[in-house]
Amino acid sequence: MAAKQLIKDHFIELRIFQHRSIVAIVFTIVLFGILAARLFYLQITNHDHFTTLSQNNRVSVQAIPPTRGLIYDRNGIILAENLPSYTLQIIPEQTRDIDNLIEELATLIEIRDVDIKKFKKEVKRKRRFEGVPLRFRLTDEEVAIISVNLHRLPGVEIQAQLTRYYPYGRETSHVVGYVGRINEKELKTLPVTNYSGTNHTGKLGIEKSYEALLHGQVGYQKVETNVRGRVLRVLERSNPTPGDDLYLNLDINLQKVAADAFEGKRGALVAIDPQNGHILAMLSMPDYDANLFVNGIDSKTYKALNTSWERPLYNRTLLGSYPPGSTTKPFFALAGLELNVIAPDHEIFCPGYYQLKGKSHKYRDWKKWGHGKTDITKSIVESCDVFYYDLAFQLGIDRMHEFMSSFGFGQRSGIDILGERSGLMPSREWKKRVHNQVWFPGETVIAGIGQGYVLVTPLQLALATATLANGGKLYQPQLVHSIKRKSDPIPRLVTPQLVREIKVNRPSNWKQVYHAMTEVIHGRRGTARRLNKTGMRYKIAGKTGTAQVFTVAQDASYKEEDLEERLKDHALFMAFAPVDNPKIAIAVVVENGGHGGSVAAPIAGKVIESYLSQFSNEELKAPQTNTEQKQKKPSASKKPSAYKQPVRNKAKPGNQQTHNTAQFLNEPEYQSHKNLTQAHRTKENSHG
Amino acid sequence: MASRSSQQGLFFRIHIDLTLLLALLALIAAGQVILYSAGGENIALMQRQWIRLGVAFAVMLAIAQISPDTMRRWSPVLFIFGTIMLIAVLLVGTKALGARRWLDLGLFRFQPSEMMKLAVPMMIAWFLSAGNIPPSNRRIFAALAILIVPVLLIAKQPDLGTSLLVSSAGLFVIFMSGVSWRLILGFIIAGISFTVPMWLFLMRDYQRQRVLTMLNPESDPLGSGYHIIQSKIAIGSGGSFGKGWLNGTQSHLEFLPERHTDFIFSVFAEEFGFSGVLILLTLYMFIIFRGIYITTQAHGTYARLLGASVVLTFLIYIFVNIGMVSGILPVVGVPLPLVSYGGTSIVTLMAGFGILMAIHTHRKLLAH
């Protein structure tokens, strides 16, 4: 029974088991079916989708920033270059103990606590295999020390990168400007793609205004990266297009002469070639080292610069608005002659003051006891104020405004760097608009000696002088002479832009003013006669000016030495030379310098002398015939320079260069620059 | 029968099933090929795996020599020893990656939960084979009680993957013993009726969230979902024929996590494509069918129940691993059997095949 039971059990058991085995087989097939279906869905049905995702995972695009264009002066001397600078960085992944390593480095080179703090902050943000900078701008010596010890400093790396460097950082700080790290505001306006690899952008001067040309076009590389972003290999590369090089009209040697001549004084100097509006020198003093700003200036230094009462960061050539004082006298004299208000032999008697009819107010001359009988020449040579009070009264503010505006007073010049101020040449409408008042005759009188509301920038004064010198041709002042693309063999010239030509009624009127201005330097009683030296190869025409900062009460006189330095008069001087063949027009302002003749004129004299020393006697003479002009050309070979085409004696409007420039200005890459200059011009037109 | 015994005479005498052995060798060879790629062409890693394979084969050979009857007699001892070890792990175990799974025995680390993958089905098979087949309801509940103790101990470590495998090993024994479908259905209904109110009333929001994330990792793409998303990209981008051996970008550029262990299937699918996947699945299926064939030929209830459980657990291994890396199952740490890099599981698996070979080759001795 027991055995039977066992056999029966055995039989049932086997049947149950076989039954369940079939279930197990079905179960297996179902599960494998599910897996196969799922994999089919992923690998066949959705293959494209996942292939895209996989590509996006592994390939990333990196930007290669272009090399910034270089800036040269007119003789090919480099003003802005890209120098390799060395950064010490640590790759955390490759180090054993970062703190130890830093301690060891500190025994070799200087590492400040600030550096370590910055470094520690960066380490947290970056990935383990990325280098984190510890020290910037290593000296050659420091690089050498680290290099020798590199074998025992695992994870330490010296990286070379290009940093903008200005060899004449001080002298060119206001003109060339500088580049700096892109800030948040700029990030919004700069083209995103083109700046994807760039850390720096022009902040000021040429560097800012010509940013579009200097920057270049970004390049790309497609790289394969792993999950942590480490680059494994480069799949594809398109090289960046370097930025264009710029050749300036600026003469750095002249700029240095000017800076030396200022000798700790504050003020500005602008020198222009009257034949084409080329800026030869442009200086604002005190200056500062532009290199400080390139990799971020420390806040202490910046604060010191920014809060100094001398305002080194303030570009006086474009922003400084000064009362022009007596430097306006040649222009008003010319206005009187050309508008037939006075005759060439016009003469007044100067008692030392001027009174409007029926008014008791005395407009005082700087010479208390008066100049006596004064004609046009004497009025300029001795700077008689009463002559011009009277002349202004006769001209009236409307004609004064119109005439002076044609010389560019009160208008933006359209120079090719941003940020200039317009100065002010007052008019009735202006006063109505701004002060909501009628114009008073007394205001006309003081405007006649360049005081009152009248304000000029040093650039305007230089430009007006150039316009006076060349017989009425107002050029747009131009800092950039030519633009060289890396792919082009020769630079493309920027054509001088003639803004307007002032109608000359009688050339003898102009000659008379030139003559008077020449007497200012070369006459016995001239206010700038100290510039006259024996054996000079050329004659200078000029005019001194003294602008009041401090208003003197009626019937009171003051002693200069009693005044605080900051309340002293501004000294001004404007000049051009040679008189018969003007090659340089110059304006100098020395803040609180006192008298124009004693302080500003000598600075101008040094610059003129330095600039004209490069010309032969032949070249300094008045042009007679065409053949003579042609002979000027060989002078180019005198100065060896990287830049073969000499700037001077070039670029008269209307010759064949116009074609070249017009062509490049239409090309899209140059549009931004064109827009920039056009914006200036539009503004100017609305003024004129 | 006679012809096969003459063909396999030698192997039969050393208790080896040649068919199973060849299939396993083919699988291991495929595994080595993909491990070389997934491990980043690391020879040292391969060598460590060879040592494990060597040990695993030795264990398989040794176990194949033991008769199922001996196994049956030692089952309770093994089970009790293993359970004590699990308790010991919870008390004095070595902690790694947030889980307490190992006992440090000085010379080597011992993972008792691995042993339980075999000890649990052996114990339940021992228990059920001692009584009538199909077992009475009382015996089934008793079997479940035996099962629940080690499963809970392992889940507490926590080791979800292993406790899943251990419980399925035990449940397969009960299933194969012929438990009635009505009872199975009853358990399923009971399970649901317990889960739903627990979900609705007992669980807190964050607990529900945690369960949901586990069930649908893609809702958390930067956290737990990251692995599964990268794994799907690897599999999907493999296409029909794959990117080629050593050319899988997802794995070689390290987008794929755990690529030489739990996610090695994704590497295989990326480099060999759907066609390679089908071959691999066929190989696995062949091993399972061979295993089922062996159990149907087995003598004795204990051998049949244990053999079937070993084979079906192997199936669960495959299904859970591939289902997990392809995104249809939640991520629980289950390796791809005999392919994934890793020590203990490969030894346990080969021990399981050793049991199957023992069942198969000790048949005739019993018959005589």
Whole-angstrom CA distances from A472 to A455, A463, B198 are 21, 11, 98
Tokens 């090695």 sit at which residue? B264
Query: Is the confidence at residue A286, as pLDDT, over 80?
Result: yes
Is B132 an 8 Å CB contact of chain A? yes
Q: Is residue A117 part of a domain?
A: yes
Do residues A428 and A447 lie in contact, with contact meaning Cβ atoms separated by under 8 Å? no
Q: Considering A209, A326, A413, A610, which one is annotated as catalytic?
A: A326
Q: Hey, are the CB atoms on A49 and B311 less than 8 Å from each other?
A: no
Query: Is the confidence at residue A185, as pLDDT, over 90?
Result: no
Do residues B31 and B338 lie in contact, with contact meaning Cβ atoms separated by under 8 Å? yes
In whole angstroms, give the CA distance from residue A259 to residue A281. Answer: 10
Do residues A153 and A159 lie in contact, with contact meaning Cβ atoms separated by under 8 Å? no
Is B3 an 8 Å CB contact of chain A? no
Residue type, B135: P
Q: Is residue A590 part of a domain?
A: no
Count CB-CB contacts under 10 A for residue B131: 15
How many CB pairs below 8 Å do chains A and B form together?
135
Query: Is the confidence at residue A677, as pLDDT, over 80?
Result: no
In whole angstroms, give the CA distance from residue B261 to residue B256. Answer: 11
Residue A360 backbone phi and psi in degrees, to 5: -90, -20
Tell me the nearest-neighbour CA distance from A240 into chain B, angstroms: 28
- Specify the number of domains making up chain A: 1
Tell me the nearest-neighbour CA distance from B109 into chain A, angstroms: 30
Beta bridge partners of A200: A181
| Minimal Cβ distance to A35: which of B250, B273, B322 | B322
User: Residue A629: which H helix or E strand, with range?
Assistant: helix A626-630
Please provide the DSSP assignment of A546-585 as one string.
EE-SSPPPTT----GGGS-GGGSPEEEEEEEESSSS--EE
Q: Is residue A214 part of a domain?
A: no
In whole angstroms, give the CA distance from residue B32 to residue B25. Answer: 10
Rounded to the nearest 10°, the torsion over CA B143, B149, B155, B160 is -20
Average pLDDT over residues B238-246: 91
Is B31 an 8 Å CB contact of chain A? no
In whole angstroms, give the CA distance from residue A283 to residue A271. Answer: 9
Mutate to test the interface with A, among B132, B177, B255 (most CBs of A within 10 A): B255
Average pLDDT over residues A215-229: 80
Q: Hey, are the CB atoms on B269 and A40 less than 8 Å from each other?
A: no
Average pLDDT over residues A60-68: 83
Contacts of B269 (CB under 8 A, 6+ apart): A39, A42, A43, B234, B235, B238, B242, B276, B277
Q: Are strands A480-484 and A492-493 parallel, antiparallel or unpaired?
A: antiparallel
Q: With b meaning 16 or more CB within 10 Å and e meaning fewer, what string describes A384-406?
A: bbbbbbbbbbebebeebbebbeb
Do residues A200 and A182 lie in contact, with contact meaning Cβ atoms separated by under 8 Å? yes
Confidence of residue B306 (pLDDT cuts 50, 70, 90): very high
* Cα A282 to the center of its chain, rounded Å: 10
Tell me the nearest-neighbour CA distance from A33 into chain B, angstroms: 10
In whole angstroms, give the CA distance from residue A380 to residue A334. Answer: 11
Is B178 an 8 Å CB contact of chain A? yes
* Cα B187 to the center of its chain, rounded Å: 24
Residue B329: its pLDDT value, please? Answer: 85
ipTM of this complex prediction, to 2 decimal places: 0.92
Q: Hey, are the CB atoms on A42 and B296 less than 8 Å from each other?
A: no
Is B234 an 8 Å CB contact of chain A? yes
Percent of chain A with pLDDT over 90: 46
Average pLDDT over residues A439-449: 91
User: Which residues in chain B touch residue A29, judged by CB atoms under 8 angstroms apart?
Assistant: 285
Average pLDDT over residues A455-461: 94
Q: Taking CA atoms, what residue in A is nearest to B295?
A: A21
Q: Are strands A219-225 and A59-64 parallel, antiparallel or unpaired?
A: antiparallel
In whole angstroms, give the CA distance from residue B333 to residue B314. Answer: 15
Average pLDDT over residues B137-155: 91
Residue B107: its pLDDT value, please? Answer: 61
Residue B222: its pLDDT value, please? Answer: 64
Average pLDDT over residues B233-244: 92
In whole angstroms, give the CA distance from residue B223 to residue B217. Answer: 8
Q: Is residue A125 part of a domain?
A: yes
User: Which residues in chain B touch residue A53, judged by CB atoms under 8 angstroms apart?
Assistant: 233, 236-237
Judged by DSSP in three states, A234 sits in strand
Q: Which of A36-50, A201-215, A284-298 has the lowest mean pLDDT?
A: A284-298
Return the higher-pLDDT residue of B289 and A304: B289
Q: What sign has the CA pseudo-torsion B300, B306, B310, B311?
A: positive
Query: Is the confidence at residue B52, as pLDDT, over 50?
Result: yes
Q: Hey, are the CB atoms on B249 and A58 less than 8 Å from each other?
A: yes
Judged by DSSP in three states, A231 sits in strand
Query: Is the confidence at residue B304, as pLDDT, over 50?
Result: yes
Q: Taking CA atoms, what residue in B is nearest to A29?
A: B285
Tell me the nearest-neighbour CA distance from B219 into chain A, angstroms: 18
User: Which residues in chain A touch residue B177, judged by CB atoms under 8 angstroms apart?
Assistant: 16
User: Which residues in chain A touch residue B322, judged by CB atoms under 8 angstroms apart?
Assistant: 35, 38-39
Please provide the DSSP assignment of A465-494 as one string.
HHHHHTTSEEEPPBSEEEEE-TTSSSPEEP
Can you give the residue range of the structural domain that contains A107? 92-154
Q: Which of residues 223-242 of A touch B (CB under 8 A)?
A: 224-228, 232
Active site residue A85: no
| Minimal Cβ distance to B315: which of A19, A28, A39 | A28
Q: Hey, are the CB atoms on B285 and A25 less than 8 Å from each other?
A: no
Beta bridge partners of A615: none
User: Residue A205: which H helix or E strand, with range?
Assistant: helix A205-209
Own/partner contacts of B280-284, CB < 8 Å, gap of 24 or more, are B280/B30, B281/A32, B281/A35, B281/A36, B283/B23, B283/B26, B283/B27, B283/B30, B284/A32, B284/B27, B284/B318
Is A47 an 8 Å CB contact of chain B? yes
Is B303 an 8 Å CB contact of chain A? no
Helix ranges, B239-299 (H) = 249-252, 264-297
User: Which residues in chain B touch residue A227, judged by CB atoms under 8 angstroms apart?
Assistant: 253-255
Q: Is residue A416 part of a domain?
A: no
Q: Which of A245-254, A564-573, A665-674 has the lowest mean pLDDT?
A: A665-674
Residue type, B96: A
Q: Taking CA atoms, what residue in A is nearest to B241?
A: A43
Q: Is the peptide bond before A578 cis (omega within 30 degrees of 0)?
A: yes
Q: Taking CA atoms, what residue in B is nearest to A53?
A: B233
Query: Is the confidence at residue B77, as pLDDT, over 90?
Result: yes
User: Which residues in chain A touch residue B296, judged by CB atoms under 8 angstroms apart?
Assistant: 17-18, 21
In whole angstroms, give the CA distance from residue A132 to residue B90. Answer: 45
Length of chain A: 688
Count CB-CB contacts under 10 A for residue A64: 15
Confidence of residue B50 (pLDDT cuts 50, 70, 90): very high
Q: Quick one: which of B325, B174, B134 has its CA closest to A42?
A: B325
Average pLDDT over residues B207-220: 72
Is B148 an 8 Å CB contact of chain A? no
Query: Is the confidence at residue A392, as pLDDT, over 90?
Result: yes
Is B286 an 8 Å CB contact of chain A? no
Do residues A324 and A396 lie in contact, with contact meaning Cβ atoms separated by under 8 Å? no
| Minimal Cβ distance to B319: which of A35, A50, A58 | A35
In whole angstroms, give the CA distance from residue B302 to residue B102. Answer: 30
